[in-house]
């Protein structure tokens, strides 16, 4: 997990992906799961699963 701050290194990979997704969504634009997967650099299913968890 290169490029992460010291406090983020202790997070689970799934938590880091959720944070990356939220950062990508902060601009207020609407993205498809496919587009988000390309922005965050992960697969479509991971984006779908993590986005659903962060919306609850």
Domain coordinates in residue numbering, the chain: 10-55
Q: Above 60 in pLDDT, residue 53?
A: no
Q: What is the model's pLDDT at position 39?
A: 85
Give the predicted TM-score (pTM) of the model. Answer: 0.56
3: region left, alpha or beta (phi > 0 left; psi from -120 to 50 alpha): left
12-49: pLDDT as tens digits: 777 888 888 888 888 888 788 888 888 888 887 877 77
pLDDT at 56: 47
Does residue 10 have a pLDDT over 80? no
The pLDDT of residue 41 is 84
């Amino acid at each position: 997990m290169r490029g992460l701050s010291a406090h983020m290194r202790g997070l689970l990979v799934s938590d880091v992906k959720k944070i990356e997704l939220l950062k990508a969504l902060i601009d207020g634009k609407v993205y498809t799961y496919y587009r988000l997967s390309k922005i965050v650099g992960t697969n479509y299913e991971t984006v779908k699963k993590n986005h659903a968890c962060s919306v609850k």
